[in-house]
A and B are shown apart, each in its own frame.
Chain A
Amino acid sequence: MSLLTDAMERLKGLFFRDRRDQELAEELRDHIERETQERIRRGERPEAARRAALLAFGGVEQYKEAVRDARGIRPLEELGADLRYALRGLRRNPGFTATAVLVLGLGLGATTAVFSVMYSVVLADIPYPDPDRLVLVSEKNSPTNAWNISTADATAIRAQQKSFEAWGELSRQEAALSGTGAPERIVIGRVSAGFFKALGVPVARGRWIEPRDEAAEAPPVVVVTHELAERTLGGPDQALGRSLTLDGISHQVVGVLPPGRTELGGFRAAAWPVLKLPVPVRRGPFWLRGVARLKPGVTIEAAARDLASVSARILPLWSDFPDSLAKLTPMPLRGRIVGRAEKQVGLFAGAVLLVLLLAITNVATLALVRASSREAELGVRVMLGAGKNRIARLLVTENILLTLAAGAVGLLLASLALKLAVSQLPNLQRIENARMDWRAAGFGISAALLAGILVSLSPLAALSGRGAGVQTDARRAGTGRRTNTLRSILVGAEFALALPLLVGAGLLLNSFVRLSRVDPGFDPNGLVAVTVALPQGRYPKPEQQLRFWQQAEQRLAEMPGVVAAGLASDVPPDNSGNYDNFNLVDHPVPAGRSEPASPWYYVSAGYFKTIGIPILDGRIFTVADSSNGPPTVVVSRSWADKYFPKERAVGRQLIQGGCYDCPRTTIVGVVGDIKNLGLAVPAEAVYGPVAQSGARSLNLVVRAAGGTAAALRDLREQVRALDSELPVQESIISALFDDSLADPRRWTMLLGAFAGAGTALAALGIFGLMSYVVRQRRREIGVRLALGAQPGTMTRFIVAKGMRYALIGSGIGLVVTLALVRRMATMLFGVSPTDMLTIAAVATLLLTVAVLACWLPGRRAARIRPLEAISTE
């Protein structure tokens, strides 16, 4: 039998029921007419013939029913009846319906929104063909310590690897874009031809960078994003063949990316100029990212073995990098793109799931009360012949209808929440893809159906526990022990669910407060900076660059309203992470081990004064620390304490950057700690003099006495006066610190909101249960009061009874919490995930709320008037 024919016939039977019935009647009339005629033909009298025909057929109505059954629509008809009945019931009880739809709708909405975010940020495939074959190659010498690769590494991999179908390098930088309107700084990704080949993404127009473009004498080419082409090149169609000036060097545009493609391999950049790999002269510096596509069938482990042998072969070739533990290591590119988000989003997915479960539990309690208050009505239905299955089906239909309505509300809320999330949580990669699509809608509706079944479980359990006897005594309705046990279990479960939520929120709050109280080591107010990069074209020689920097610092220091001015390669809270490795002459690392590395800054003497960093020992830079003087550095107190714990650091020497042929670098001073790398990170730092850096890009930093806006305007004017074509990027240091707190603040608020909702739901649950208990025991309480019990005793009795559930639930919640909370460790600052103080504080809060929620019905119990209570029975 064809399923389709069957379904079609059934559906026709359902939708054209009236027409079908008419046709059936006509058919049967026709049948009886023919039978009558036949009998008349055989000689019977017309009257008798008709009666005989009818008799031969039997009861016409009965056969109509039999035919309808054969059409197979009875279950559907019953469903229709159930739906109509359920709708009527829900309409008749608007308070219950509205509460349940709202509570569940909020839960489902939040869950759907978080699911959608999680899908696009964590679960969705990265947008490349065969993404599982894409790897990122790094140097790695311990499970936690990985860094970029060097020119020497890349050259060796190109020549020796056997595992990759395609291999390419990337160096992400900032560059000055000029010649197309106002000068500006953009992020670029210098890439080799293999990078595009490995990713396998097509260009929308033109071509990719090809191996011939990498030749030293080939003209520089660039592939641009659709957005950059629109903004500066007169649209993607006009872009091809035009030139783009990056850091003063003209690049020919050969390709345009498809619209919306703003990142490649998880790296965001506006333009992708060609990377021309120089011939390596030493092992370092480590400045490149390696991206590769594995050959089909080659596992990442096999590729790791292949690259390890490359590492072993090149180790003896370069004396400047003796770390035998460092291995070139492939890691899935997916990990780089999904990154930290997995943990953050995972935590909130867990939290939102707890909220949803709480909402479901709450509505289950409501549904249970409703079912028990309808015991009389259901009893009548049983008496009239409805089977238990039929009643169970009715209850489930009703609850699923309810949760589907809640699901609709939830989808609406989720689409609003998603718009908010996309605009408020921009620090998650790929969050812009999160939207209300069929996937999110499917998830929401499935969650709603599941919720409907879960909500139905408790009334069904209560139903199955009922004896065969029919209860029609309305006053006794819902007194079943089983119903009460179920309700107290549900209320306990709500506390078990609420506690982990509260602990999570408490920990994040604690961590956030600690983070925001961290002393940055200086006063960020009034500090402004502009980043300036000097293009190679117009400042080819280091002396020219240095002259520019010195002139700029001088002009800024003389500006009215400026307290102090200085130069720095990075300003706090810097996240670009410029590190260098070193080896202490007095305490060298053992042979074959990697050298330590520290954040490394190049600053002018004026910088220390501008920021307000105190000099603790020795001196800061002078004119003697010039490009041809001996190399010098100033270190922070944390650095000195770490590497010279019991000795004086000033006067010691180190080998910088693995350059054993270079002159030794001398530590000339120790200065105070500042939070250079953000509030959560230790303050160890090494400062070198600008004159010895050859820096092409620096920050001009100014402490202004007046407003920051005016200071920034003056800064811009001074730079323009020196060179009108330089793009500048402005920052206000205090705003940067505030921004660094914005993300933890958002996450804390979000989890706080979830925890608040969870606590409210648990309180609502226990309040409902105890109010019900008081109503149920009204008579008993009345009698006890009449016999001389103190009203206060009654309140205490009710509160104690309620708190038993709350305590047991919270106890279970504590166990759940301790099992879950360790996953939060990496998200916390200065707090252990099992911080007893936090756990005790939130448990106290939860139980206090519970006491209050029990006390309200308890007070009502105390105010019961004995006479009324007894006589109303």
Chain B
Amino acid sequence: MPPESSDLLQGTLEMLVLKALSLTPMHGWGIGHRIDQLSGDAFQVQQGSLYPALQRMLRKGWITSEWRITENNRRARYYLLTRAGRRQLEAETAAWARASAAVNGILRVRTADGTP
């Protein structure tokens, strides 16, 4: 197997996907697009890593997928958040909040002469 991307990045992407899907079921392109939008284009989701991530999340049971007919009469695969996925999102959100608060706390510490 090829080496996995680092846990932080992978975990972050999965969390963002869960967040995007918590709003509404979406297809793969839509998920990427939505994350780009929500982040104000701060993140560019690597499209190549999006689909493997979706596959992994399917295996973990966080999301399910189904084929739907889209507004312009095309077949597209939609991903839906499962109950387990929703719990995972809550857990990750909480963990993220704690971690980022901690990191922020560290970053706010200043040296005696006031330089960061």
**Is A28 part of the contact surface with B, judged by Cβ < 8 Å?**
yes
Q: Find chain A residues with CB under 8 A from B108 CB.
A: none
Interface residues of B in 3-35 (CB under 8 A from A): 27-30, 33
Contact, CB under 8 Å: A69 / B28: no
Q: Is the CB of B48 within 8 A of A58?
A: yes
Interface of A is mostly: helix
Q: Which of B2, B30, B47 contacts A69 (CB 8 A)?
A: B2
Query: Is chain B's binding surface mostly helix, strand, loop or mixed?
Result: helix
B50 to chain A, nearest CB (A): 9
> Contacts A30-B74, A69-B1 given: A2-B61 contact, CB under 8 Å?
yes
Is B56's CB under 8 angstroms from A70's CB? Answer: yes
Contact residue range for chain A?
A: 20 to 34
Q: Report yes or no: A31 in contact with B29, Cβ–Cβ below 8 A.
A: yes
Contact of B52 (CB < 8 Å), options: A6, A10, A26, A70: A70
Q: Known interface pairs A38-B33, A71-B59. Does A66 touch B51 (Cβ–Cβ under 8 Å)? A: yes
Given A1-B60, A5-B61: A26 and B55 interface contact (C-beta under 8 Å): no
Contact present for A5 and B29 (CB under 8 Å): no
Is B94's beta carbon under 8 Å from chain A?
no
User: How many whole Å from B41's CB to the nearest CB in chain A?
Assistant: 13
A520 to B: closest C-beta gap in Å: 78
The answer to whether A72 and B48 have CB atoms under 8 Å apart is no
The answer to whether B55 touches A67, judged by C-beta atoms less than 8 angstroms apart, is: yes
On whether the beta carbons of A34 and B29 are closer than 8 Å, the reply is yes
**In whole angstroms, how far apart are the Cα atoms of A62 and B47 in the complex?**
12
User: Across the interface, do B48 and A63 meet the contact criterion of CB distance under 8 Å?
Assistant: yes
When distances are taken between beta carbons in the complex, the residues of chain B under 8 Å from A5 are 59-61
Contact, CB under 8 Å: A66 / B60: no
Which of B29, B30, B33, B61 has the largest count of A CB atoms less than 10 A from its CB? Answer: B29
Residues of B within 8 A of A56 (CB): 47
Nearest A residue to B30, CB-CB: A34
Q: Are A69 and B52 in contact (CB under 8 A)?
A: yes
A23 touches B61 (CB 8 A): no
- B2's nearest neighbour on chain A, judged by CB, is A69
Q: How many residues of B contact A (CB 8 A)?
A: 25
**B70 closest partner in A (C-beta):** A30
CA distance A702 to B59 in the complex (A): 86
CB atoms of B60 and A62 under 8 A apart: no
Decide if B110 is an interface residue (CB 8 Å cutoff): no
> How distant is A38 from chain B, measured CB to nearest CB, in Å?
7
| CB pair B27 A30 closer than 8 Å | yes
Residues of B contacting A62 with CB < 8 Å? 48
Known: A30-B29, A30-B76, A74-B1. A6 touches B61 (CB 8 A): yes
- Collect the chain A residues with CB atoms within 8 Å of residue B61's CB: 1-2, 5-6
* Cβ–Cβ contact A71 & B55, under 8 A: yes
Check B59 against A27 for contact (C-beta < 8 Å). Answer: no
In the complex, A523 has a CB within 8 A of chain B: no
* Min C-beta distance of A12 to chain B, whole Å: 10
Nearest-CB residue, chain B, relative to A63: B48
Interface string of B36-62 (1 = CB under 8 A from A): 000000000001110111011011110
A717 at the interface (CB under 8 A from B): no
- Nearest to B53 among chain A residues (CB) is A70
Point out the residues of chain B lying under 8 angstroms from A28, CB to CB. 51
Report whether B48 and A6 are in contact in the complex, using a CB–CB cutoff of 8 Å. Answer: no
Q: Which residues on the A side are within 8 Å of B27 (C-beta)?
A: 27, 30-31, 34
A581–B29 alpha-carbon span in the complex (Å): 100
Name the residue in A1, A6, A71 with the highest tally of chain B Cβ atoms < 10 Å from its Cβ. Answer: A1
In the bound assembly, the distance between CA atoms of A533 and B59 in angstroms comes to 80
Contacts of B77 in A (CB 8 A): 23, 26-27, 30
Q: Is the CB of A70 within 8 A of B48?
A: no
Give the residues from 56 to 110 in chain B that come closer than 8 angstroms, CB to CB, to chain A: 56, 58-61, 67, 74-77, 84
Residues of B with C-beta under 8 A to A23:
67, 77
Q: How far is the CB of A662 from chain B (nearest CB, A)?
A: 89
Quote the shortest CB–CB distance from A25 to chain B (angstroms).
11
- In the bound assembly, the distance between CA atoms of A757 and B48 in angstroms comes to 62
Q: Which residues of B contact A26 (CB under 8 A)?
A: 75, 77
Interface centre among B1, B2, B55, B56 (most CB of A within 10 A): B55
B47 touches A66 (CB 8 A): no
A71 vs B67: C-alpha distance when bound (angstroms): 18
Q: What is the bound-complex CA distance between A28 and B52, given in angstroms?
A: 12
Pick from A6, A27, A38, A71: contact of B28, CB under 8 Å: A27
In the complex, A318 has a CB within 8 A of chain B = no
Mark out the residues of chain A between 16 and 60 whose CB falls within 8 Å of any chain B CB in the assembled complex.
Answer: 23-24, 26-28, 30-31, 34-35, 38, 56-58
Q: List residues of chain A with CB within 8 A of the CB of B29.
A: 30-31, 34-35
**A868 interfacial contact with B, CB 8 Å:** no
CA distance A66 to B54 in the complex (A): 11
Cβ of B2 and Cβ of A2 under 8 Å apart?
Answer: no
> With an 8 A cutoff between CB atoms, is A519 at the interface?
no
A738 interface residue per 8 A CB criterion: no
A31 contact from B47, B55, B60, B75, Cβ within 8 A: B47
Once A10-B59, A30-B76, A70-B55 are accepted as A-B contacts, the answer to whether A58 and B47 lie under 8 Å apart by CB is yes
Give the residues in chain A near B51, CB-CB below 8 Å: 24, 27-28, 63, 66-67, 70
| A234 CA to B88 CA, complexed, in Å | 71
Could you tell me the distance between the alpha carbons of A67 and B49 in the complex, rounded to whole angstroms?
9
Closest CB pairs A-B (n = 3): A5-B61, A70-B55, A70-B52
> Could you list some 30 contacts between A and B, CB below 8 A?
A1-B60, A2-B60, A2-B61, A2-B84, A5-B60, A6-B60, A6-B61, A9-B58, A23-B77, A26-B75, A26-B77, A27-B27, A27-B76, A30-B27, A30-B77, A31-B28, A31-B29, A35-B29, A35-B47, A57-B48, A58-B47, A58-B48, A63-B52, A67-B51, A69-B1, A70-B51, A70-B55, A70-B59, A71-B55, A74-B1
List residues of chain B with CB under 8 Å of any chain A CB: 1-2, 27-30, 33, 47-49, 51-53, 55-56, 58-61, 67, 74-77, 84
**8 extra interface residue pairs, beta carbon distance < 8 Å, beyond A5-B59, A35-B29, A69-B1:** A1-B59, A2-B60, A24-B51, A26-B77, A27-B51, A30-B27, A34-B27, A63-B48
